[in-house]
Amino acid sequence: MNTDSKTNAAVGYKFDRRFHDRDALLVQMDSYAHPTNNPQSIENEEKSNREELPKELALNLREEVTVEGFLDPLRRRYAHQPVFLQAVEEMAKSVTPLFEDEVNGEFYKRAFLVMTEPERTISFRVLWQDDRGDMKCNRGWRVEFNSALGPFKGGLRFHPTVTEGVLKFLGFEQVFKNALTGLPMGGAKGGSDFDPKGKSDGEIRRFCEAFMNELVKHIGGNTDIPAGDIGVGEREIGYLFGQYKKLSNDNDGTLTGKPLILGGSLLRPEATGYGAVYMAQIAVEREGGTLKGKRCAVSGSGNVAQYAAKKLIDLGAKVITMSDSNGTLVFKNGMTLEEWNTVVEIKQKKRGRLSSLKLCDQNTEYIANHSPWKLRDLKLDYAFPCATQNEINGTSMDRLIDNGLVGVFEGANLPTTLAGQKHLREKKILYIPGKACNAGGVSVSGFEMSQNAMHLIWTNEEVDAKLKETMQAIYNQIDNVKEGGECTLEEGANRAGFLKVALAMKKLGWIW
């Protein structure tokens, strides 16, 4: 980089001549803002408030700030956290053009720089006892990323692949996802490298209690509200909430995703999958198309995948795949409601594998050791990746496009690699990223918080109507930004979330 060597050594960013003390930007505060939900209004407010910005920010940019130039120092610092760096790079590709704004470019640089660092990262050991009486030790984390828009909000993941870097990636994405919902929620993520597979109910309960013994010190209804994620479903949330009640003597809505009898919300298990399909329906119909009769490939078989498949069936689409870590079920003529019920029974009640499904007709085939995206002859219209991060790479995306793919709607968090995203852009494939497409889950978590606060339970119809309204509002936000800046829906989602968080941080005095 062509910058002064002393400046580089001190701060590492070529535009850091005006940053001076990077750590001074990371001010921790307890209050939170509730800015307008309309990104167009946000942009207008930014324009009207330009005079309010400190004079040193209102400078014409003398140099173009590239994505690579911004990322290089982060790559050196977090080389051991590749998936977090991937999430930042994906966001940076959309946001760095804003740095060229003649008036607010420097402000946007500072804002994005601060947003790449969590407010705090909490790590702890979790000691628990297995069924043989042996002591076990796992690691636990809570990454409280950004609370500008409200209390920290985000799920807990129990999986052996969980690391601090994975949780930083998830927390970073959660900040902008929550911003798009229009609800007063900041972003966070937590979890443990504990593996629930093969564990007895007693072992899972004891682990959840031990995990909460540490987490309870850092959460609360107005501070940090965890929810579920991979490996943490309604059962685990119930155990976590039970231990929280014992330790805190409080019955507030500090956890969401609770069983209905404990104050949970109707449609919470369905919300992420339903919301992803509602978003797809809105986007496809905006393009003049329909989901009815279209071949839709779904990956995964957890809550998100199950209910995405159910809603697709309800809308008349043909669900042609579901999968788990052992292989893929292919439904040649589309999944029937009876077959869907069988999959749900295997996964929710028996906690089994899709390979245990008894295939009794010509419609269904099980292919071991392959995800849907690795199948060479899978003819499809739309892809709904609902399993995990980085499940569709560039090679798989090319194959899917050759096989008829016209749209990708992410039910999982960052399921498409950067190479896969590049192919989508080059081929102009309809694509809505996870931070917009799978925001239905956290939206209904927000509804659960509201119901807990009011001591009410909304009906299925009320929650579903609010979920549809929220997904429509999210689409409108990203489409408005797209139209205003001639960018893609992906870029619109990233910029809309970024602008909202940046404005809140400015109003709080966290960036100057």
| pLDDT 10s digits, 274-287 | 999 999 999 999 99
CA 187 to chain centre: 10
| pLDDT 10s digits, 348-362 | 888 889 988 877 678
| pLDDT 10s digits, 148-167 | 999 999 999 999 999 999 99
Strands 135-146 and 187-192, by their bridges, are antiparallel
The answer to whether residue 65 scores a pLDDT higher than 70 is no
What's the token pair of residue 470? 């929220």
pLDDT at position 252 is 83
Three-state SS at 229 = strand
pLDDT at position 356 is 86
Range name among 66-70, 179-183, 203-207, 461-465 with the lowest pLDDT average: 66-70
pLDDT at position 334 is 96
What's the token pair of residue 176? 């902008």
| pLDDT 10s digits, 86-113 | 999 999 999 999 998 889 999 999 999 9
pLDDT at position 53 is 36
13-51: buried (b, 16+ CB within 10 Å) or exposed (e) per residue? bbbbeebeebeebeeeeeebbebebbbbebbebbeeeee
The answer to whether residue 383 scores a pLDDT higher than 90 is yes
Q: What percent of the chain has pLDDT over 70?
A: 86
The answer to whether residue 315 scores a pLDDT higher than 50 is yes
pLDDT at position 482 is 62
The answer to whether residue 193 scores a pLDDT higher than 80 is yes
Confidence of residue 16 (pLDDT cuts 50, 70, 90): very low
What's the token pair of residue 205? 């309960």
Confidence of residue 510 (pLDDT cuts 50, 70, 90): very high
272 annotated as ligand-binding:
yes
| pLDDT 10s digits, 241-264 | 999 999 999 988 899 999 999 999
Confidence of residue 124 (pLDDT cuts 50, 70, 90): very high
Domains and CATH numbers, the chain: 5-117+493-508 (no CATH), 120-252 (3.40.50.10860), 269-432 (3.40.50.720)
In three-state form (DSSP H/G/I as H, E/B as E, the rest C), the secondary structure along 236-280 is HHHHHHHHHHHHHCCCCCCCCCCCHHHCCCCCHHHHHHHHHHHHH
pLDDT at position 40 is 44
The answer to whether the CB of 172 falls within 8 A of the CB of 84 is: yes
What is the Cα–Cα distance from 396 to 377, expressed in whole angstroms? 12
What is the Cα–Cα distance from 349 to 404, expressed in whole angstroms? 35
7 annotated as ligand-binding:
no
Q: What is the pTM of this model?
A: 0.85
Closest of 440, 385, 389, 431 to residue 406, by C-alpha: 431
What is the Cα–Cα distance from 91 to 177, expressed in whole angstroms? 12
The answer to whether residue 306 scores a pLDDT higher than 60 is yes
Residue 467: what residue type?
Answer: L
**Residue of 14, 93, 168, 189 with catalytic role:** 189
C-alpha to C-alpha distances, 147 to 7, 30, 93, 225, 334, nearest whole angstrom: 30, 8, 24, 11, 43
The answer to whether residue 400 scores a pLDDT higher than 50 is yes
End-to-end, the C-alpha distance of the chain in Å comes to 26
189 catalytic residue (yes or no): yes
pLDDT at position 485 is 60
303 annotated as ligand-binding:
yes
| Higher local confidence (pLDDT), 14 or 291 | 291
146 annotated as ligand-binding:
no
299 annotated as ligand-binding:
no
pLDDT at position 371 is 96
Q: Give the mean model confidence (pLDDT) for residues 460-472.
A: 98
The answer to whether residue 328 scores a pLDDT higher than 50 is yes
Q: Give the mean model confidence (pLDDT) for residues 184-191.
A: 98
Confidence of residue 480 (pLDDT cuts 50, 70, 90): confident
pLDDT at position 61 is 36
User: What integer best gives the mean pLDDT of the chain?
Assistant: 88
| Higher local confidence (pLDDT), 350 or 232 | 232
